[in-house]
Structure 1
């Protein structure tokens, strides 16, 4: 094998990435991009794929397409590639409805399974979701999903309530999004005792697929069989009816994956290779996908209404204009800011042309990340109902513990992808956006996608994990550096920690850090240093309150950032004081040009 081609058929752009074996190791060569052609007048994704590949051909001189417009395989004498695969989110990706018995138990588990398979969940219907039956039927009828996932009941548990939900779906008789000429796929992953009744009720109306129960007992969540079934049905029913996909499926050497599933596999690859807890984000124009691999458990959440272009006004609506304004270091009228964001929404492909408009987008990104993580924590939860006294169905004796198991102190790596992060003019900007949005605690490594390549390498890792990691490591992952963030709060200027970093060539950085400071220490990429962090009694860096942590830290293109602004991060209430504080932080990190920051200060 010498050449591998991977494409991503996105909602607006089709992106081709060419990889080549050079001197015995696999490397990224270059990219070709073209508008996606899923909608009228073209209605054939093949055309967009061919156009993206032609750009690769022009730039490399390698002839990949035959005279008939198909990919030549295998590679020979300057023609063709050896392997081709693709991801896709064109036409709205994989949209599905989820149904279960108890909203916080089986329905929640089914929701996690659907999200993990790369789906956008349109709605979650449950017996106890507070809506009357006629409203549920009306909702199911109007959704027009690509697929339905029905769960409910432990094995040998309730049958009546499972059938109640099934009968609502049957009565609604929903139609598939991509036309009425085929049966809507339905995956049943509930109580095995009701399988015969489900077959009888649903068998003729739906393309029914029965898999193992998602919650066979309350203590166990088994999402993998449902995830696999979702993917198989996605290929068999949804992709085979989308314009141009049947032909594209004959070209690929692997099944087509939904783009978020590819992105999720890339995040899992980082966690697997590094053997660490990872929190990742795909910050898109229409959606924000948050991924976590925590103690080996992978969870994805999609905030389908939070994005940086099409959905930018939804971020404003959910966060509130004041929360966006708090990150802006210059005076701006609230009405003007609203107009800037509305203009971005109606012209989603425009890019910032002034530093002020760039800073505004960075402010929105922080809020999109904050809200995305908040939503993710509602998905990444402990199993409800497990080992708890159950007085009556739905009335569960709750533990007095945090709902989510995501502990920022135990997150070792944060990884970001998406246009705004990948194309930030200075890498320190994306590092601080990720830091302010997610607020990591303790010692955390920060990674970023160089060019949008994570979905491509995620799908490639299914067939060739070692090749995918080699390209990932050498050409995709930019190591931004390490954040040291003591958790706790204090008054401005009070001592937070004594930090000692033993740098290469015998240099030593030593400093008593005070509250409100943020400091950048240069340390080159792939360079390690020993750090000794001794927090005061009110602060924790991972060893406990007031306890010293000795650890090895890694450098990056930004270096090491010591963030003593406190957790949770609180900005001053007074507008003038807040703007001065932001400028001081930005100056300390060399975030934006000096002249611009002086202008923000009114100098």
Structure 2
């Protein structure tokens, strides 16, 4: 267990900018913006941390910073979760920690089958799909990974309650706190945009079968309701791996949620265009594919009304 207390979305937002760099934050923005305007936006957030975004563009800036904060926290965790040098190790945590050579990170992203996000930026995202995409972009999960979010940012409080009444804290956590978002399916590897990435065969409840293929650089959202489970068969092309080896078929189960099933063929590591115009087109295409933001709010600074209600579906 590790804590990155210096990475946050209020007074410590400047630490995120300093560690990640402004270019890493700007790469997540689906609109063109100059450096000074972005710096002003971030500094205003730092001195007024309790303010909420007034436009969709303001929201996109905050969620871009959140992606980098989450990414940096995971990188710090990987650096700290390493094997002891020169000491024989005994596996005692879980299969998510691979037995590697001493001094190397123990984190195996293929073995992580559940990611839970907590914090105001995730719990209070206007659309649950925004929280799911932030987690996917930041952590770049591999294979088949279920994602969930803290409903109203109550996990820290349940941690305190568990010291007094563990059973009550557990019941609240399962029934009221944890909101299943869905499942992300993503292979490791990169390729040329437009080429075939993998084929999938989905066995849905009611014995309904969906078969299709997805190209490199695409992301797709399929409906799969909460409390529903489906079987999936994944056949990657050469150069892509779902955990069984390069180009080898994998079968498994995917669980639904308030968002659904996301098939992510954008590649690992995720490649974002360096040219600003190309980046804007790329991010807007991805956003439209999963209905990430309202269409009228994609124009950049000053666009959108900021009055969109939470869409949990």
TM over 0.5: yes
Q: Give the structure with higher Rg (CA).
A: 1
Alignment of 1:176-187 (within 5 A): none
**2:129 aligned with 1:428, yes or no?**
yes
Q: Which residue of 2 aligns with 1:546?
A: 247
Q: Which residue of 2 aligns with 1:571?
A: 272
Q: Can you give the 5+ residue segments of structure 1 that lack an aligned partner in the other structure?
A: 1-298, 389-398
Q: Which residue of 2 aligns with 1:368?
A: 69
Q: Which residue of 2 aligns with 1:409?
A: 110
SS at match of 1:458: helix
Q: Which residue of 1 aligns with 2:311?
A: none
Conserved 8 A contact 2:83-2:101? no
Question: C-alpha displacement at 1:402, in angstroms?
Answer: 6.8
Alignment of 1:135-534 (within 5 A): 299-300=1-2, 302-387=3-88, 403-534=104-235
Q: Which residue of 2 aligns with 1:582?
A: 283
Question: Aligned partners of 1:540, 1:470: CA distance in 2, in Å?
Answer: 38
Q: Which residue of 2 aligns with 1:20?
A: none
Question: Aligned partners of 1:483, 1:348: CA distance in 2, in Å?
Answer: 31
Structure 1 pair 551–400 and aligned structure 2 pair: CA distance change class (3 A): closer
Conserved 8 A contact 1:501-1:509? yes
Question: C-alpha displacement at 1:474, in angstroms?
Answer: 1.2
Q: Over residues 107-162 of structure 1, what are the superposed CA-to-partner deviations in whole Å (9 max), with x where a residue is unaligned? A: xxxxxxxxxxxxxxxxxxxxxxxxxxxxxxxxxxxxxxxxxxxxxxxxxxxxxxxx
Question: Aligned partners of 1:305, 1:458: CA distance in 2, in Å?
Answer: 21
Question: C-alpha displacement at 1:303, in angstroms?
Answer: 2.1
Structure 1 pair 583–338 and aligned structure 2 pair: CA distance change class (3 A): same
Conserved 8 A contact 2:218-2:266? yes
Question: Aligned partners of 1:513, 1:312: CA distance in 2, in Å?
Answer: 37
Question: Aligned partners of 1:406, 1:387: CA distance in 2, in Å?
Answer: 18
Q: Over residues 256-292 of structure 1, what are the superposed CA-to-partner deviations in whole Å (9 max), with x where a residue is unaligned? A: xxxxxxxxxxxxxxxxxxxxxxxxxxxxxxxxxxxxx
Q: Over residues 536-579 of structure 1, what are the superposed CA-to-partner deviations in whole Å (9 max), with x where a residue is unaligned? A: 12111122221111111100000000000000111012111111
Conserved 8 A contact 2:227-2:255? yes
Question: C-alpha displacement at 1:502, in angstroms?
Answer: 1.1
Structure 1 pair 552–450 and aligned structure 2 pair: CA distance change class (3 A): same
Question: Aligned partners of 1:428, 1:538: CA distance in 2, in Å?
Answer: 29
Question: C-alpha displacement at 1:404, in angstroms?
Answer: 0.6
Question: C-alpha displacement at 1:400, in angstroms?
Answer: 6.6
Question: Aligned partners of 1:328, 1:476: CA distance in 2, in Å?
Answer: 30
Q: Over residues 333-366 of structure 1, what are the superposed CA-to-partner deviations in whole Å (9 max), with x where a residue is unaligned? A: 1100000000111111111111110000000001
Question: Aligned partners of 1:401, 1:549: CA distance in 2, in Å?
Answer: 30
Question: C-alpha displacement at 1:476, in angstroms?
Answer: 0.4
Pairs aligned (count)? 291
Question: C-alpha displacement at 1:465, in angstroms?
Answer: 3.6
Question: Aligned partners of 2:206, 2:296: CA distance in 1, in Å?
Answer: 34
Conserved 8 A contact 2:196-2:213? yes
SS at match of 2:110: helix
Higher relative contact order (CA 8 A, sep 6+): 2
Q: Over residues 87-115 of structure 1, what are the superposed CA-to-partner deviations in whole Å (9 max), with x where a residue is unaligned? A: xxxxxxxxxxxxxxxxxxxxxxxxxxxxx
Question: Aligned partners of 1:400, 1:461: CA distance in 2, in Å?
Answer: 36
Q: Can you give the 5+ residue segments of structure 2 that lack an aligned partner in the other structure?
A: 90-99, 304-313
Conserved 8 A contact 1:443-1:542? no
Question: Aligned partners of 2:84, 2:18: CA distance in 1, in Å?
Answer: 31
Question: Aligned partners of 2:157, 2:31: CA distance in 1, in Å?
Answer: 39
**2:257 aligned with 1:556, yes or no?**
yes
Q: Which residue of 2 aligns with 1:63?
A: none
Conserved 8 A contact 2:221-2:289? yes
